[in-house]
Structure 1
Amino acid sequence: MVCMPAILKHPVFRRLYAAHIIHIVGNEFTFIAVVGLLHDLSGSGLSFAAGTVFRLLPYVITSLFSGALLENWDKRKVMINVNLLRGILVSLFFWITTPAYLWVAFLLLILVNVCSAFFQPAMQVAIVSSVESEDRLQANSLLQGTTSFLIIVCQGIAAFLVYYFSYRFNFLLDAACYFVSLFILLKMPSMRAAGEKASVSFLTRFREGFQYIRKAPQIKSVLVYQMAERILGAYYIMLMFHILQERKEGLHIFGLLDIPLGLGGVLAGIVVSKWADRAGEKRVNAALGWVLIAMGLSIYAMFHAGPIMILAGATLFCAFASFSATIMAVTRLQRLTDADYLARVFSIREMGTMGSFAIGCLIVGYGAEEVGSAVISSGLAIFGFIAGVLWLFAARAGKTVESATENAAS
């Protein structure tokens, strides 16, 4: 097991990590800017939920086949070209100023996320190629912890810029970050598929990816778990409506609430990296179940709290649980999946998790508009509790069956 600094001695991972940091900085500036743009153009709290669906639905559809496609492509070129396209597209948001061009904003959201659906599987292949299996928990924890720390810093800066200046300049900052990230990736080595794999047709690889998952119950269980967690994660869509419409707070308050969210991710990166490998599979399985229950309870507290500081505390707790689940689940998926199927499994994962998130966003966004966020959050809390309990029972039953099999064999 290597320590955190040693992970950064991997030349490929070091460049991936640096490129990831730069583009996350830009993403955080753009996120709050998109909220402001959609809110200004439509005047409806539902617009952000609609914008989320326009972002995620193309991502989900593209993820269905992106993994099978990019297996024959150079992963380095994929990531470079994706960042070039995203930089150009994001800069175009700056010029949308009237409600008549709301459709253009949605179109840009679609195109940016079609590009992103190719980036994530390519990055996962690059990480697995550059980091040994026993070090991937540390690598994933470092990525998640750094990302969450940047949420704290960048959302604080973004909230300041939104309050004192125009949020439109955030789009240009994001475009610049994509271009810088592109240049960092230029010096990565080529990552092209082997000749035997390149000879297999797209349709064959596409079909084999789903067959592989269907025959791997552990992989299926991790994917279903992450889909449930992402449904709970849709609570974040209600925050915009809750803060701007129900509490009548400013956009900068919504941005500042990303600070406890980011802090939760930092804590998750630190705790999981130090605990999960030593805990063993049984305790990690139990922790995954309790995470869903914890998320449900904190979501309930978040939308029934009066003081803003209690709301922020519940956001911190929920973020810690959510990011911990992501780190543990992604690491397990990397270890369970055969390298030949990694891109396909992670593209299907993106389809499943982001599809669940999109459906959840649509439901909670519309529900908050119709009956209020307090009622919808109660439903999410019940879902989290039930999903967590079911996972705990399934994990215990699986362990019992495994023990019985071992006893019979002996």
Structure 2
Amino acid sequence: MEISTFNAFKSRNYRLYFSGQSISLIGTWMQKTAVSWVVYSETHSKFMLGLTLFASMFPSFVFSFLGGVASDRYNRYKLLLITQFASMGQAILLTLLIFFRHYSVWEIIALSALLGIINAFDVPARQSLVYEMVDDKADLPNALALNSSMVNLSRLIGPGIAGLALEKFGEDICFGLNAVSFIAVIGSLLMMKLPKYLEKPRTKNVFGELKEGFQYIKQTPSIAFVLIMLALISLLVLPFSTLIPVYAKDIFKGTASTFGVIDSVIGLGAFCGAIFLASLKPGRNLRKILATNTLIFGAGLVLFSHTTYYPIALVFATISGFGMMSQITISNTLIQTTVDPAMRGRVISFYAMAFFGMQPLGGLLIGTLSQWIGTPDTVMAQGIITLIIGFALFRFLRKDEAKRLKAEQEV
């Protein structure tokens, strides 16, 4: 593997961030896995799985505009510290709720919604701050790809640990370990040495700044296109993950460990995809790679959907994870490397809206659809939609290339 794979680690602040966030994210994925398992075990309802995803992500959609403006208006570092303490508080509340056994599914859903509100402010601040953590800005795409590898390595490890913890110790241990994991990321943030924050003069109110961000996206077609594609994938395809407990419990007749393993191999595929992206040499055509990997994602889902032989299903789940990775990482990289720094927080809030906002709506849609036509047919339909989006991406790229060549010939 080329040395360029880890170039971003030359920056001390980024190394600190990466190590702290790595530990915290394992806890986050443990909590996500445990929440899904508890809700499905209590209700045996696919719709409730979709509703839980909706509750955890829709508040991010509603409040991400404010999160983006806050990230551009105020000290991103302090904002990120506040959101990490708030997330730790949410995890402690969830742990206490499960520990004392007097809970209803609606209380778990309410706490998931609280985390969604926190994330609306956390994501724009965190993603924008990565830019400031990297000393050499040429290493930014590498840092973003390494971020994705970290997210997906934790997705690989977290659900697997959660599956074992759920069987051996109980749900409250999963939630408690997540609460403890925030100490690592808060500690790493406190050890950073960032440039002194300079307060920027503000000439517009919050709504004026929101409008300015929206106008900027409208006038930048390359960014607008990426956001539309991500929104479609997030609405119609990414909620396939809400149906994994159904495969684990009903199709493969498994336990919490089966659920953890399927989730982990999706994470393994996504981790491999992130390392592949981190290893790319600067200057590669990311849009073409995005289109190719969208086709891989779609093919993986179609093959996984009706496979009843568990080991083969795990292979197809891994392929799906590899293709899925590009949707999130390349979209983020294309935005971060082309956006005006003064607009970074607001544009990332639109990215968060497309990613977090469409998924919960899709979760309700996919949960309802799977009740009607069955889970395997629903996942197959999602795979076919992904293939169509991948071919549409290639068509757009060919047209864009033709336009560019025509413009060059005219010059």
TM norm structure 2:
0.93
Conservation of the 8 A alpha-carbon contact between 1:45 and 1:245 = no
- Distance across 2 between alignment mates of 1:407 and 1:136: 33
What is the count of residue pairs matched by the alignment?
A: 406
Number of the residue aligned with 1:403: 405
SS at match of 1:306: coil
The residue type equivalent to 1:337 in the other structure is V
**Is 2:71 the counterpart of 1:70?**
yes
What's 1:108 paired with?
111
Alignment of 1:95-174 (within 5 A): 95-97=96-98, 101-131=104-134, 132-174=136-178
How far apart are residue 101 of structure 1 and its match? 2.7
Rate the CA distance shift 1:189–1:200 in 2: closer, same or farther, 3 A: farther
Query: Which among 293, 297, 300 is matched to residue 298 of structure 1?
Result: 300
Of 229, 235, 239, the residue aligned with 2:240 is 235
1:252 partner amino acid: S
**Secondary structure of 1:277 counterpart:** coil
CA shift in 2, pair 1:52/1:297, >3 Å: same
Question: Which stretch of structure 1 is more off in the superposition, 371-380 or 337-346?
Answer: 371-380
Cα 1:171–1:306 shift into 2, 3 Å: same
Matched, 1:250 2:255: yes
How far does residue 276 in structure 1 lie from its aligned partner after superposition? 5.5
Distance 1:5 1:305, change over 3 A: closer
| Matched residue SS, 2:111 | helix
Match of 1:188, SS state, is coil
The 1:396/1:332 distance shift into structure 2, 3 A limit, reads same
**Aligned-partner residue type, residue 253 of structure 1:** T
Question: Residue 35 of structure 2 aligns with which residue?
Answer: 34
Indicate the SS of the match to 1:248. Answer: coil
Q: CA offsets, 1:228-283, max 9 Å, x none? A: 332321111111223223443212101111221121122112222223635x32xx
TM superposition shift of 1:225: 1.9
Deviation for aligned residue 1:152: 2.2
Q: 2:268 aligns with which of 263, 283, 293?
A: 263
Residue equivalent to 1:87: 88
% same residue: 18
Tell me, in whole angstroms, the C-alpha distance in 2 between the residues paired with 1:387 and 1:6: 33
Moved more, 38-47 or 395-404: 38-47
CA displacement 1:130-189 (0-9 Å, x = unmatched): 323321221122222232222222322222111222122110110111133212212334
**Distance across 2 between alignment mates of 1:264 and 1:197:** 45
Name the CA shift for 1:295/1:99 in 2 (closer, same or farther; >3 Å).
Answer: farther
Q: Aligned residue for 1:43?
A: 44
The amino acid of 2:65's aligned partner reads: L
DSSP-derived class of the 1:257 partner: helix
Q: Which runs of 5+ in 1 are unaligned?
A: none
CA distance in 2, matches of 1:285, 1:151: 25
State the superposition RMSD in angstroms. Answer: 2.1
Letter in 2 for 1:14: R
More deviation, 336-345/80-89: 80-89
Name which of structure 1's ranges 134-143 and 217-226 shifts more when overlaid on structure 2. 134-143
